[in-house]
Amino acid sequence: MVTVRIGARMELDGILFDKDGTLFDFGATWNIWAADLIHELADGNAGVAKRIALAADFDLVREEFHPSSPIIAGTNREAAECIARALPDRDVEELESLMTLRAAAAPLAPPVDLGPFLDGLLTRGLKLGVMTNDSEYAARAHLNSAGILQRFLYIAGFDSGHGAKPAPGPLLAFARLLDLRPDRVAMVGDSTHDLIAGRAAGMATIAVLTGPARAEELAPFADVVLPDIGHIPDWLGRETVPQ
């Protein structure tokens, strides 16, 4: 874990979470989803499967995304466009719809017991939200499946009308909706997209290591880098997080 010292203990009124790689472990959720999707689209053709995997920057042998994959932090539309380059006979809109439906049923692997964790934050008086570059439909399906949908006052996807990360628009929409000062909100995420958006919105930035990105990649954009979201309550009450 990387320890990042901040000038003083940060007082927050709200926390905005990324979904994939943050509330849910990225590899355990999306590597399985991607492998199944590639084999479904290839329909038994090994050559087609290799083309799709190459376009997605996905390792078919290890069944995992390479950290450089554009799909990791991209929107569902961008992911569909990526896959379509390997399937010129398939319509992008059709692929996007298929991927949205498959994403809604993706296996979920939270890094902590989410119910008690979120309830602990709520008892501190914090207002909670989720902003993902996945679709809002998939986000709500996942949060509902995990039994935590009602803990959030704001749930937005790339298609919710506020834009997508790394732009700050969807983060600022959270602050406006709940009448929060951006500098009293923390953006929590596992990618530079999340953290760049948070910095641009004037928010605190908390990086977690439950996605593909490594600590040294995230640290320049983060106020703190934590192993997972379960360490946030301890961090809220201290000036530094011990290694």
User: For 176-218, what is each residue's pLDDT tens digit?
Assistant: 999 999 999 999 999 999 999 999 999 999 999 999 999 999 9
What average pLDDT does this structure show over 136-157?
96
Residue 239 burial class via C-beta count within 10 angstroms: exposed 0-12, middle 13-18, buried 19 and up: exposed
d(CA 187, CA 160): 18
User: For 12-32, what is each residue's pLDDT tens digit?
Assistant: 999 999 999 999 998 888 898
User: For 157-182, what is each residue's pLDDT tens digit?
Assistant: 999 999 999 999 999 999 999 999 99
At residue 71, the pLDDT reads 87
Q: Which residues contact 79 (CB under 8 A, 6 or more apart)?
A: 56, 70, 71, 96, 99
Q: Above pLDDT 70, what percent of the chain? A: 93
Please give the residue that has the higher pLDDT: either 104 or 99.
99
CA proximity to 229, closest of 85, 142, 118, 128: 118
Helix (H, G, I), strand (E, B) or coil at 213: coil
Instruction: List residues bridging with 195 in a β-sheet.
Output: none
Q: pTM above 0.85?
A: no
* Whole-number Cα distances in Å, 109 to 31, 126, 130, 167, 185: 12, 24, 17, 27, 26
CA proximity to 102, closest of 83, 129, 88, 130: 83
pLDDT-derived band of residue 102, with 50, 70 and 90 as boundaries? confident
Arch. (CATH architecture) of 14-25+110-236: 3-Layer(aba) Sandwich (3.40)
d(CA 87, CA 75): 19
User: For 76-94, what is each residue's pLDDT tens digit?
Assistant: 888 999 999 999 999 999 9
* Whole-number Cα distances in Å, 198 to 67, 162, 165: 21, 14, 9
Question: Is a pLDDT exceeding 70 seen at residue 4?
Answer: no
At residue 2, the pLDDT reads 42
Domain boundaries, the chain: 14-25+110-236, 27-104
